[in-house]
Amino acid sequence: MTLPFRMMGVVNVTPDSFSDGGLFLDADAAIAHARELIAEGADIVDVGGESTRPGAEPVSADEELRRVLPVVEGIAGALVSIDTSKASVARAALDAGAGMVNDVSAFRADPEMAGLVAETGAECCLMHMLGEPRTMQRGVGGSSYGDVVDDVRAFLQERMGHAVREGVREERIVLDPGIGFGKTVAHNLELLRRLGELTALGRPLVVGTSRKSFLGRILADAAGAAEPVDVARRLPGTIATNVLAYERGARVFRVHDVASVRAALAVTAATLNAQWPPSATRTRTS
């Protein structure tokens, strides 16, 4: 059965990602993990060699390539997204078989990125972020935005316009409001509540809430705990936010736990779309 959404499974080939840093730094481990995610239902495998967690330090293009290229090559045949803001890394990954560029800078970090995506015809994801990973959470507060949803929508519209002017076909663009990137808990929740306002941009919306710290803080508050809930216990919050995001119009979900979130979204889609059973030959009602 074809589901009305796409799952993007996360493969961090890094020593310092917030959720799984170091687990898949070895290429063979990363390839095996990517294949597991595909078996669980990942439509896209997002491979990244540079952490974008708050405060993360940048790595050189050579180091990033050393980490990601063997993994991209090792899962040839899958739809691979290369999570990078460097055009040189993106080009090498696309040459190795990737079909998508996930740029958290929305083509701001490297002036050659938009032209590369246009030239290759790759799909791309443009994301909203204040500043850069090292600085995006510094000083973020209620006054960081006039209206966070309006500001994110205006930013994404401008970056999509830039990409199209550079030759990227609009139908190859997906947009990400950047949950957790330069935003408070309140900002993240406001974006999720009003996600439907971003569908007016006319492109599929990507949501990436998986295991993020704002979920840990919400779950801790609910339990009366002082410290955020550990990363390993944030799956319920991840599922809840993805279900809500689907209901509000998101159609691509970037997650670590593909099988669990995909199952929840399949039930959500069946409920909201009122299309069960999916075919005339299906008669079982239980």
Catalytic member of 212, 248, 251, 262: 212
Q: Which of 95, 91, 79 is nearest to 41 (CA)?
A: 79
Which two structure tokens, joined as six digits, stand for 10? 């996360």
User: Residue 211 is inside which H or E element, if any?
Assistant: none
* Paired sense of beta strands 100-103 and 206-207, if any: unpaired
Backbone φ and ψ for 78, nearest 5 degrees, come out as -85, 160
Cβ count near 286 (within 10 Å):
2
Angle, in degrees to the nearest 10, between helices 235-247 and 185-193: 40
Catalytic member of 6, 86, 254, 262: 254
Q: What whole-number distance in Å separates Cα of residue 55 and Cα of residue 226?
A: 22
Amino acid at 136: M
Is 138 a residue of the active site? no
Residue matched to tokens 């909203």: 128
Is 183 a residue of the active site? no
Cβ count near 283 (within 10 Å):
7
DSSP class of residue 78 equals B
Catalytically active residues, by annotation: 212, 254
